[in-house]
A and B are shown apart, each in its own frame.
Chain A
Amino acid sequence: MDITLKGIRKRFSKGREAIAGVDLRFPSGKITAIVGPSGSGKSTLLNLIAGLLRPDAGTIFFDTRDVTMIPPEKRDIGFVFQSYALFPHLNVEENILFALHDRPMGRAAKTESVSAVLKVFEIAHLAKRRPGELSGGERQRVALARALAREPQILLLDEPLSALDAQLREHLRRELGVFLHSLDRTSLYVTHDRDEAMLLGDELVVMREGLVIQSGTPAHVYRHPVDSFVAKFFGDANLVPCELDESGQRVSSRFGTFSVAQPLVLQPGQSPCMLLRPEMFVPAGTDSVVRLKVRSANFLGSKWRVEGLDVAGWPLVVDLPGDTAVAEGEIVDLRIPRSSIHVLAVDASQPTGSAGEDRSDTHLAGHIYGKH
C-alpha cells in the first residue's frame, strides 16, 4: 500500500511549525527510514500518518483512499512505540490478543492466531509474563508481535531500538532488518541513528526543521547529499572548496580537476564544495595529489582512521587500509582515484572543512575534526 503526503503542515500550540509543508510518497512494500536529528519532525510525521495527530493542512492518502480525517483505529496500521507501550496489566498473550479484539473471529480462532504469532516471534515461552517481567529485547519483540498480529497493511515504527543498550541494539537491528524485509509490507521506520537508517531502509527520508531535505536510496543519499548537513549526517565528510567551470561540468581544486557527478546550479551567495569521503583517498606514489602530515592515526582493525593537514594546512580525515604503515608526524602521500566527484553548494558564509564540523546534535555519529 502506497502512502502519499500532500502539503502536510502541523504546528503545535506555540512555536515554529513541526511539519512545515511535506510532499512525499512512500512506495508500497518498501521500508523507508525517516531520519533526522532531534526535533526535526520525524516522529510528528509518523504520528500524522498514524492518525494520532491531525494535520493543520494537507492530505494523507493510503493508496487512493484519503485517510486525513480517519481516526487511527480505522486506518489498518501497526504501530511500534519507542517505549513499546505494552499494557502493563495484561500478560504477553493478552497484549497480543487485544490486537484482535475487533476481528470477526471466535475466541478459539483468536487464541489459535495468538499462538501462531507467539511462535513466529519466538516468544511462546513468555506468553504468561507481564511486560514488567520482560527484558528490553523481549518487550521490543512483543511490541512488534502485537503490532503485526492484526496483519496491518502499513507498519510504523518510532525509534523501536532507542530504549535498548548499545550491544542489544546492534544485535536486534540486524534481526529486525531481516524480519522487516521478509514482511513485504510498507514500513516506515523513524530513527535518529544514521547506521540504523542505512541498514534498515530501502529508502531514506532525511528531515530537518520540519522539512524533508532529501530522499532516496541509502547509497544515493550517501554519495550525493544535497547539502553539507546531509553529507555530514551520513558519514564523515571532507568538504573542500573548489571552482566550478562555466559549463558546470568540471571542478578544479588543490587536489586536481574532476568532472562533476551531478550537475550543480549555484544560488546567489553559494559556493561549490567537493565532497571527499575518507575512503576516497588511497596511498599514492609519484602520482600523489595530497601530501598529508599525520596528526593522529587510530587503528580500527580493517582500516586506519587518519587525521592530518595537507601542505596548505587544510584539515583532512582519511581512511587507509589496515595493513598500511602509518604513524603520527609522518607525511603520507595520497591520491583520489576518481574521475567524477560529487559537488555540493554551501552558503558562502558557512565554514567548510573536514568531517563533522558544526554538528549541533551529538546523536549524529562521527568525529569532530578540525577543532584541535
Chain B
Amino acid sequence: MAWGYLTTGIVTLISLLPPLVAVSHSFRAPESEQWSGSSYEYVMTTYGSSLSFSLKLALFVVIVSLVIAVPAAIAFTRFPFRFSGVIEELIMTPLSLPGISIAIAVIVGYNSMRGNWLLLAMAQMLYTIPYVVRILGNSLRLLPIDELEEAARTLGAGRYVRYRRVIAPLMIHPTVLAALIVFAISWGEFNVSFLLATPTQLTFPAALFATYTSNSLSVAGAATAIFILGAVPFFIAFQLLERRPFEGGQGV
C-alpha cells in the first residue's frame, strides 16, 4: 500500500506544482516582496469583464450544445439509420484537429461574422457537440433502455409515461455530466478564443495569456488562481456525479 500512496503522491505533486507555484506568487505585491491581495484586485478590475464574458459564453455553449447534441445522440443510438455510424464518427473529426486549425477554418469560412461573439461560440461548439454526442451515445448504449421500456409497457405505461418516468430520468445523469464537460471545455478553451479575441470579446484564458506576457508574475498568479477557482465547482460536481450514477449502480 505504501508504494501506492507514494506514486499517487508524486503524480499529484507533479500535476499541482506548476499552478501552485504560480498561485504562491499571487499574494505578493507587484515588484515587491510584501504579502498583498492587490494583484487580485488588479485582475478583477482589469479582466473582470473577461471573466464575466467567459462565464456567459460557457453557459451559452452548454445550452446550445445540449439542444443540438442530445437529440442527435438519441437518434444515433435509439433510431440508427443507414450510415448513421459513419456520420457519428465523422462529426468527431474536430476532436482530432489542433485548435489553431479549427480557429483558422472558422475565420476563413465565416469571415463576415468576425467580431461577433457567436463566431467564438460556434467554434467552441465544433468541439463540444461531438463530446456530448459521444458521452450521451455511450451512456445510452450501456443502458438497456429498450428492455426497460418494454418492462414499462408490460406495466401499463403508455408512450408519455415511459418517456417521462423511465427514459428521461435515465438520461438526466449523462446529460448533466456532458453539460459539465462542455462547460469545462468552453471555460478553459484557449486556441480558438485567442485567435478570435477582440478587446470586447476577450475570454478569461486569453486574458490569462495577456497577464503572463504583459504583467508581473503576481498578477499572472492571481489570474491563474481565479481561473482555477472557477473550475473547482466543476471538478466537485463531476466527481460527485461520476461516482454515483444511480446509487448502487445501474442495477438492471
Contact = CB atoms under 8 A, between A and B. Distances in A.
B251 A134 contact: yes
Contacts, number: 95
- Bin chain A's interface residue count: 20 to 34
A83 B170 contact: no
A144 interface: no
B153 interface: yes
B149 to A, nearest CB: 9
A185 interface: no
B214 to A, nearest CB: 51
Contact of B166 (A79, A84, A87, A147): A87
B156 interface: yes
A84 B151 CA distance: 9
A118 to B, nearest CB: 16
B244 to A, nearest CB: 10
Given A81-B151, A84-B252, A87-B151, A130 B247 contact: yes
B152 interface: yes
Contact of A52 (B150, B158, B249): B150
Contacts of A146: 155
B161 to A, nearest CB: 6
A150 B169 contact: no
Contacts of B89: none
Given A89-B170, A132-B246, A132-B247, A83 B252 contact: yes
A73 B246 CA distance: 26
Interface in A47-75: 50-52, 71-74
Interface string B134-158: 0000000001100110111111111
A156 B158 CA distance: 20
- Bin chain B's interface residue count: 20 to 34
Contacts of A86: 151, 251-252
B156 A87 contact: no
A102 interface: yes
B154 A72 contact: yes
Residue among A50, A78, A88 with max Cβ neighbours from chain B (10 Å): A88
B151 A79 contact: yes
Given A52-B154, A72-B153, A102-B157, A83 B147 contact: yes
Contact of A133 (B147, B169, B248): B248
Contact of B144 (A79, A85, A89): A85
Given A88-B250, A132-B248, A101 B148 contact: no
A57 to B, nearest CB: 23
Contacts of B250: 88, 131-132
A128 to B, nearest CB: 10
Closest 9 CB pairs of A and B: A131-B251, A132-B251, A132-B249, A132-B248, A133-B248, A85-B151, A79-B154, A88-B251, A72-B153
25 contacts: A51-B153, A52-B150, A72-B154, A73-B156, A74-B156, A83-B147, A85-B150, A85-B252, A87-B151, A87-B152, A87-B252, A88-B148, A88-B170, A88-B249, A89-B169, A89-B170, A98-B157, A99-B155, A101-B155, A101-B157, A101-B161, A102-B156, A130-B247, A131-B248, A132-B247
